[in-house]
Structure 1
């Protein structure tokens, strides 16, 4: 009986999410916030930082590993802009199998005249850099 209660408790607890923030959904209250409630001296704060890794099988390429990242950053001052620049380092040798970055999306949300202004990151704002013969970086 104790085992059944324990297993049911695990199933129930595994369905609870700690964060109820959706990617791409920004509220007016978040944009109007001038200071981070937990630290008034913070220049920026992560409102969401989520990572999901999973495997998919492709008959041509075999198993592939996919990792999805979602981050939401609130910038409170000019000093916080450095948190908006992301560096993604990945394996890319001169020959052979390599990793790749795909489906890169980023948005900036501002409050202008009481309305939420959503701007998408353009492809010209994404830079690629070869770090060495095995690693590359996207910024």
Structure 2
């Protein structure tokens, strides 16, 4: 079975998007759990909780940007590269690295946002404007 460089490049972009999606899911889950506890104390903080809990979702957009860049910029020029097979593996490697970066970044971003959400009742929501 022969694997084409184009399929490796597309797989790299898809893996980058999957890393962003998985990390964002964990990050939003972590921040959302803190949001439920905060809203039980002070329901007026709904807007601030939604803003802070949705921040880990940005990593999904970064994964989508990597996928779009691979599909529109790298893929059309892949055949013109001197070593197309090696270039396909290089793009796959870049996608895997991007997936790890987006996954852990979104996961820890959710943890940081959860800490901020838990401080909303103490600061009366001023934590967003004092940062």
TM interval, short-chain normalised = under 0.3
Quick check: which has more Rg, 1 or 2? 1
Structure with higher RCO (Cα < 8 A, 6+ apart): 2
Q: Normalising by the residue count of structure 1, what TM-score does the alignment of the two structures yield?
A: 0.24
Q: Normalising by the residue count of structure 2, what TM-score does the alignment of the two structures yield?
A: 0.25
- Between structures 1 and 2, the one with greater helix share: 2
- Between structures 1 and 2, the one with greater strand share: 1
